[in-house]
Amino acid sequence: MEKAGAGVPPPVGPLCTRTVWRWMCRWRAYMNELDGRFWQHVISLHPTIRMPRGRARPSQRLRYWQQIWMALPPDKVNVGLFHGLYRLRQLGSVAMA
């Protein structure tokens, strides 16, 4: 994390290690919050989607989500993964309010 923070160029960086750590924790919490909604959304769009297994399945969650997102039919998904995750989060915020 020190390398990551130190590698950010001015005027934003270099960043403190604690700042990088806080951002990582927020990102993980965000991903954990969206995990269930992501899979509900994917299954509602394509109930018979083939899930990668074994060596074909990425070990990192974000890469796995990207692979699944790209496997959805283009007519079902017209936004990128991050835009889709943002929409899911906004829908969840509205539902919780």
Mean pLDDT (whole number) for 26-31:
90
Crossing angle between the packed helical segments 61-71 and 17-45, to the nearest 10 degrees? 30
Among 3-17, 19-33, 65-79, the least confident range: 3-17
- Residue pair 64/55 in contact (Cβ under 8 Å)? The answer is no
User: Which residues does 79 contact at the CB level (< 8 Å), separation at least 6?
Assistant: 87
User: In whole numbers, what is the pLDDT of the chain averaged over residues?
Assistant: 85
Nearest to 38 by CA among 86, 74, 78: 86
pLDDT band of residue 93 (cuts 50, 70, 90) is: low
Among 7-11, 55-59, 66-70, the least confident range: 7-11
- Residue pair 21/1 in contact (Cβ under 8 Å)? The answer is yes
Residue-level pLDDT at 1: 72
Residue 46's φ and ψ, nearest 5 degrees, are -150, 85
Mean pLDDT (whole number) for 62-71:
92
